[in-house]
Structure 1
Amino acid sequence: MSLARAGDTRWGSHLKTILRLLDLWKPVREVLIVLSREGTDAKTRGNALGMVEKMENFEFVFIAHLMVNLLRKTNDLSQALQLKNQNIGNAVRLIEDMKYDIKKYRDDGWVELLNEVTTFCSKNEIYMPNMKDVIPGRVRRTIDDEPQTYLHRFRADIFYQVLDLLLLNEMNERFTNANSELLTCIACLDPRDSFQTFDHEKLLRLAELYSDDFNGFDLGQLRIQLNRYISNMKSNEVFSGLRGIGELVKKMVQMKYHITYDLVYRLVELALVLPVATATVERSFSAMKFIKTDLRNKMGDNFLTDALVCYVEKDIFASVENEAILQRFQAMGPRRCQLPAIGKKK
């Protein structure tokens, strides 16, 4: 086991970091104590001492356990959204399940969380305040005009506010009912299991959402095409065993079905270009910090784009032989010298 470095955008990295910290609590604390005494400079010793003081604080332990519980509930969704060939229907169901799970945890999870924190503090000899004690220097601001206690502080100010922020602001804004409806409709195009998720009405609703691409006449024709399309697809063995919408498009073009069922094919095209269908956009933004560093912050847009393509699609570029790259570079223009050929591996 080792401490994991937290990434900027990956939820899973934060979960691993906090879990490792809680599991290695005593060894980490001992190392920080040694650094606070024997650090190479005053800044290192001061930072280590400050970290030890924070780790021995009940509020630090409370927030760490709260974050672990929340990140565990969102981890499955995080992993699903990062898949290149994700199942949109499963992702939508995970979103709804996660919202319900977080809401249930908000209503019933306080006692469980407090017990976890209490057990951890007792095991690691961390001072835990009496939840009924009054917080020194705090003004009266409770409903019954009584002094605020530690129970009010952690339950009202941290627990509920964090969950409301995550559930109401983050999840409901990122995954609105309109977005969920759009994803559910797109999932009906999935050809897996002999087009089991096909739904005639939802696909018509998808066409209505793209009003600029489907007028009233197109919607009437699409209704007829969908019936013929699904009947043909289920009876044609060529379309059995497909694993995604991408393979469906290739097979439709190969069989000239993109001409026969042009309106259905237009729906499939819209599903493929929808950015939320894959994590490519997120990966591109995450890769920018590795490409455009402080030492390379003046690169132009064209060079940045080319470098990002090479980094994001590294699996494809790994299959290209170095000799082919050298020959292409040599042929681009006159060079002062001939690039040496790379010997083949025996």
Structure 2
Amino acid sequence: MSIPRLLVSVAVIVSVGAAAAPAMANFSGAAPDPTGDATDPRSGRDLEAAAFGYDRKTGTVRVAIQLATRPDKTDDGVGVHVFLAHRSATGCDKTPGVSVVGETQAPGGMAWGLQTGPSSDPLAAVGSADNFDTFDAVQRFELRDPALKNRAFDCAVATTTELGNPANVLDTVGPIVLKALPELRLGVSGVPTSVVRDRTRRITVKVTNPGDAPATGVKVRIGRAAGLDAPAATSLGTIAAGRTVTKRISIRLTRRARSTVPLKLSAATGDLRIERRYSITPRSRAKRGGSGGGDGNRGPQQLCNQFSPDLSGQSGGSLILVPC
């Protein structure tokens, strides 16, 4: 069985579309299925894997299924039925749930329906879904609607069915548990545009988890750069869903710093990573009367010698101490 595209990572789901938001799935799950267990041996009917991603904030569902072989263009194809719902004692069958139905040879021909009550009730919402990979062994579907927001689906099932007879199920993957995911947002303040060499500055880093699960083992890392003295990693521990952790980190430009020093900060938990990039210009000394960076974050005060002319004409002037 060859299913690396689905099971190494569910990124194949959340990358559907050209421009996706930073948070593209709050819940996700994937599972394999044995090869050759479909009741119909013809091509394009045997499921090998399925993966699901659900973003409750935008009401977006992304699905990817992998078939053992590409659909055969010489036949009419096969029906596809996937659904997301809530777990119960009898399986993945508790409402609210959303079903997506269509066929492998019908681009853009998928339809979905949202069931919020008993199956005898009318559907609460309906719409169409996009099929991005007609005639491909990996089939990807996407649907988005405000009616799907904040449903917190926690399980999913994918099936192939006889075309025109959805009651005849050919193969099934699932139920698959959809796990809640953390999310990271990184805010950085106090980064100076320029700084005197060998002066320590402190920047403020805020990491927020607006996701649906705790972010564990969160670390803030600063990339290495010539002339930059900063901790390589700062541990923030676990950030609960909806919480923010703030840290102040000291940085310094050494004598090795050249015209511009890149400052790259990242926050990560597991495979989730976000970063910010800045540039700092080193100076040999501060500008006269300046604050050493111009961003209000002065840091420890240092004094420097400065020549002050004597405007009375009684002397040529003298050296005085001023803030650097």
TM-score (norm 1): 0.22
More strand by percentage: 2
**Larger RCO, structures 1/2 (Cα 8 Å, 6+ apart):** 2
